[in-house]
Amino acid sequence: MSEAVEVKGMVLSALPYREYDKRITLLTCERGKITVFANGARKPSSQMAAVTQPFVMGTFSVYPGRGTYNLKGFTPGQYFEEMSRDIENTVYGSYFLELASYYTKENEDGTQTLNLLYVTFRALLRGTPGRDGIRRIFELRMAYENGFFPGTTICSACGKALTGPGGEGGYFLPWEHGIYCRSCMERRKEEYKLHLKEQGGVHKREIELSPAVLSAMDYIVRGNLKDLYYPEYDPAALEKIGEVMEVFRESLGKTHFRSLDVLDQLKELSLPGR
């Protein structure tokens, strides 16, 4: 048997496997997203039962196998145990884990995503800036870390400043995944209409973004992670960013997030005005 290696990371998901085992997905600093089998972890007497659950963070000792790993031991780090005491935090947190799982791959450095999850869970537990706002900030930062939204203060095509003195804001074009000034947006829209006429497809609308919204987006994508959730974001700006992230998610072609269905159901159950 190969030697055990130590990896720092967080459990993204855990599924029952065979009669007594679990199959967990772990996001690690050293090896990116990996699959780990935890033998006997479903037995109540198992020391591994409590640590093979979503939100558990720490150092995992694992045996590398063929494409997967086997769990040997665990040294606790930060366990976001409190997350599971509140149903809404659990549901939002589960969505963040699912989104992290969607973006991450094996054999990549997972450190930045782990740090982002860490500050995001701290913010959820603190309760500011509100769960929906946290969701939008997290979605945008995750997209940025994975190569989207490279610049939010200049036009993606001509480089014109969209914020600052004389900045007129810009437009998010879902079919391009980019932000453009008005004249570049209009040109691209003509091309897009032509493309739709020839190739068919569902028409998507551009979203206008004010300089204030673009500045907030710029802070979210480029700011220090530890300060990400501390500014007093304008709720209207976060709502606009939410609109962008909704059409962005649809334009990714992905796919279905199980935790979002639960989130939608939860919102329907919530009393009006909450």
Six token digits for residue 225: 């992670």
> Which of residues 80 and 171 has its CB atom nearest to Zn ion in the complex?
171
Strand-pairing partners, residue 71, are 62
Helix, coil or strand: residue 200: coil
Could you give the residue ranges of the DSSP H alpha helices within the chain? 87-103, 111-126, 131-145, 182-199, 211-222, 235-251, 258-269
Q: Does 87 bind Zn ion (CB under 5 A)?
A: no
In the complex with Zn ion, which residue's Cβ is closer, 181 or 214?
181
Where does this chain touch Zn ion (CB under 5 A) — which range of 19-27, 149-157, 213-221, 222-230? Answer: 149-157
What is the Cα–Cα distance from 53 to 10, expressed in whole angstroms?
9
Answer positive or negative: Cα dihedral of 65, 71, 76, 82: positive
Cβ atoms of 11 and 24 within 8 Å: the answer is yes
Q: Does 181 engage in binding with Zn ion (CB under 5 A)?
A: yes
User: Binding segment for Zn ion among 13-21, 57-65, 78-86, 153-161 (CB under 5 A)?
Assistant: 153-161
The set of residues, in sequence order, having a beta carbon less than 8 Å from that of 203 and lying 6+ positions away, is 196
**Could you tell me which stretch among 120-128, 140-148, 156-164, 243-251 binds Zn ion (CB under 5 A)?**
156-164
In angstroms, the Cα distances linking 16 to 28, 38, 88, 119, 252 are 21, 10, 24, 29, 30
CB of 180 to Zn ion, least distance (A): 5
Residue 218 CB, shortest distance to Zn ion, in Å, is 17
Rule CB under 5 A: is residue 158 a binding residue for Zn ion? yes
Per-residue contact flags (x/-) with Zn ion for residues 19 to 58, judged by CB under 5 A: ----------------------------------------
Q: Is 155 in the site for Zn ion (CB under 5 A)?
A: yes
Number of residues near Zn ion (by CB under 5 A): 6
- Which of 24, 26, 184, 238 is in the footprint of Zn ion by CB under 5 A? 184
Helix then strand then coil, % of the chain, to nearest 5: 40, 20, 35
154 contributes a contact to Zn ion by CB under 5 A: no
Nearest residue (CB) to Zn ion, 90 versus 163 = 163
- Between the CA of residue 83 and those of 47, 122, 171, 249, what are the distances in Å? 21, 10, 37, 25
Q: What's the closest the beta carbon of residue 77 comes to Zn ion, in angstroms?
A: 46
Given candidates 50, 157, 161, 225, which one binds Zn ion under the rule CB under 5 A?
157
Residues engaged in binding Zn ion (CB under 5 A):
155, 157-158, 160, 181, 184
